[in-house]
Amino acid sequence: MPARPAPTLSSGLLILGSLVLSPLTHAQTLAIEFIDTAASGQAMNGAGQVLGTRQVWPCGNPANCAPVFETSVWRAGQRLVLGAPVGRIADPHALGADGSVVGTVTDFNVNFAASRWVFDGTSYQRQDLGALPGTTQSVATGIDDSGRVVGWSITPFISQKAFVWTSTGGLVDLATLGGPSDPPRGISPGGRVITNTLHYTLDQPASTTALPAPPPGFRGPNGWEFRINDQGDLGGFLGDTTGSAPRYLFRWRAGLGQWQQLSPLSNSTSTSNWGVGRIDAAGGISATVRGAGLFAAGPDGLADSLSARLSVAYPDSSVLRAADHVGDSFLAQVGIGRAARLVRLVPAAACTSGCAKVQTLTMVGRFINDPNAPGSCTPKAKNKVSATLSVVDENGAALPNVRVQARYLDDYDLSTAVSGRTDAAGQVVFKHAGPACRGAITLLVESVKASGRRFDRTQGTLSGYVIPLPAQ
């Protein structure tokens, strides 16, 4: 087979063989809404609830023990852990519009039980969805906006059956409804299912269609690595046919019957930070390529760096992963300071009058030695940090009596909220004292509130960090 042609740029259009893609459209500036530290996201719904994983250190000190990972949902400012039976772990696959979670509990990928976690007003309670008759195990992979869960039920190495679960009908074998037995890999909000080889609309067996053939020089698609929307558009990765088998981000436009390559960059099979988040109703795709969060606007925009859209008020920050998006908001991991944080990225508009902005943020830090063990990380050693912020209006005039809220972070699990009001010179000072040997200490400004004024997150300085060092 001839070598795959290299993507080239011509008159603002990306050309791959005979496929022509349109250039990017204008994109909004993005500001950061902090969710958690030492965490990664998997999915976000329209209510702003987030599914993901949080690292915690049982001994309280990262220097003395390894972290454990807790699958969690963040909702209404709280992090709630998804429980599993003793000896098993929760492996969630999807977050519903109602905040419910579906996935499996597993004893480290040997036995599987399809599960649904439902919020009871206080915590998440697990419901075992069972298995179809004639099978012993089950996996739940997706949930649509009507609460229908899809997955498959198996007896390992013997049989497999696709299912749909509803709260009124329980588990139903899709074959009895005229559907295929291929294991569902995901489902769109309106009920379009994708498998490794097919896609179809739930309850419409006649809609079953093979996934489109890849363009010349590529292989796939594979349902695990693709997302589908209600129109049958696909977003995900196609591997090329060379020995190294890198993967490239593509969109399938069902209405045109055409593949579009969205980025010339690729991931190798050993790249850890890559994946596709969502393809929305307009064909917009959130994804991660080579450890960078991207967004390709629908219906035919190319992949755009989300880092390039971050407000300049977050210096030296970058979007390391785009896990999902809803409308104009993104679920992402962003490098702030020297560590990744779980955040929402939301549109931010510049302010021209009646504004309040953090003009400067200056930090100093010191490592305080244990007098009995200089240079060590004993409990008596401390980090002491001070951050000075100045708040001004759109003309640069100091703003007194303005309430500023911020958060101290480190390279591990520190997340301490601080707040204060500016003095007559428009300045406020935030201090931190805590355990030493925790990497850089970062300050993230979260809000500036003054009567009759709007917080401008498109300029100024809203983050900074310092590495505490011993006094010389």
Question: What pLDDT digit, counting tens, does each position of 436-469 carry?
Answer: 989 999 999 999 999 999 999 999 999 999 999 8
Neighbours of 392 (CB within 10 A): 20
Q: Which residues pair with 126 in a beta bridge?
A: 117
Q: Is the pTM of this model over 0.75?
A: yes
Q: What is the reported pLDDT for 109?
A: 79
User: What are the φ and ψ backbone dihedral angles of 197, each rounded to 5 degrees?
Assistant: -130, -15
Neighbouring CB atoms inside 10 A of 89's CB total 16
286 residue type, one letter: S
The pLDDT assigned to 314 comes to: 98
Report whether pLDDT(22) > 70: no
d(CA 153, CA 163): 7
User: Taking 90 as the threshold, does the pLDDT of residue 156 lie above it?
Assistant: no
Q: How far apart are CA 35 and CA 130, in angstroms?
A: 33
Give the percent of the chain with pLDDT over 70: 93
pLDDT of residue 271: 62
Confirm if 330 and 293 have CB atoms less than 8 A apart: yes
Residue 188 has what pLDDT? 98
pLDDT 10s digits, 264-296: 998 876 666 899 999 999 999 999 999 999 999
* Type of residue at 219: R
Determine contact, residues 440/411, Cβ cutoff 8 Å. Answer: yes
β-pair partners for 386: 364, 431
Q: What per-residue confidence (pLDDT) applies to 377?
A: 85
174: helix, strand or coil: helix
Q: Could you write out the DSSP letters of every residue in 346-366? A: EE-----SSEEEEEEEEEEEE
CA distance 151 to 139: 5
Residue at 441: amino acid letter: I
d(CA 139, CA 129): 9
Q: With cut-offs at 50, 70 and 90, classify the pLDDT of residue 62.
A: confident
> What is d(CA 140, CA 113) in angstroms, rounded to the nearest whole number?
8
Between strands 89-95 and 78-81, the pairing is unpaired
- For 127-164, letters b (16+ CB in 10 Å) and e give eebbbbeebebbbbbbbbbebbbbbbbbeeeeebbbbb
* CB 185, CB 223: distance < 8 Å: yes
pLDDT of residue 267: 85
State residue 455's pLDDT score: 98
The structure tokens listed for 254 are 């069902």
**pLDDT above 90 for 106:** yes
3-state secondary structure of 367: strand
Residue 369 per-residue DSSP state: -
Contact 245, 234 (CB under 8 A): no
Residue 101 to residue 142: CA distance in whole angstroms? 9
Residue 308 φ/ψ, nearest 5 degrees: -70, -20
Residues 6+ apart with CB under 8 A from 278: 227, 235, 285, 286, 324, 325, 326
For the stretch 188-215, pLDDT in tens is 999 999 999 999 999 999 999 999 999 9
Higher pLDDT, 424 or 270: 424
The mean predicted confidence, pLDDT, of the chain is 92
**Cβ(79)–Cβ(54) below 8 Å:** yes
Q: What is the DSSP letter of 472?
A: -
Whether the pLDDT of residue 224 is over 90: the answer is no
The pLDDT of residue 11 is: 29
Give the pLDDT band of residue 110 (cuts 50, 70, 90).
Answer: confident
Residues 56, 39: Cα–Cα separation, whole Å: 9
59 backbone φψ class: left, alpha, beta (φ>0; ψ -120 to 50): alpha
Give the model's pLDDT for residue 25: 45
C-alpha–C-alpha distance, residues 259 and 215, integer Å:
7
CA atoms within 13 A on the CB side of 394: 11
Backbone angle region of 312, left / alpha / beta, with phi > 0 → left and psi within -120 to 50 → alpha: alpha
Mean pLDDT (whole number) for 320-336: 98
**Region for 337 from its dihedrals, namely left if φ exceeds 0, alpha if ψ lies in -120 to 50, beta otherwise:** left
Mean pLDDT (whole number) for 75-97 = 96
Instruction: Check whether 92 has a pLDDT greater than 90.
Output: yes
Q: What is the mean pLDDT of residues 125-129?
A: 98
pLDDT of residue 297: 97
Nearest C-alpha neighbor of 344 from the set 299, 277, 284, 408: 277
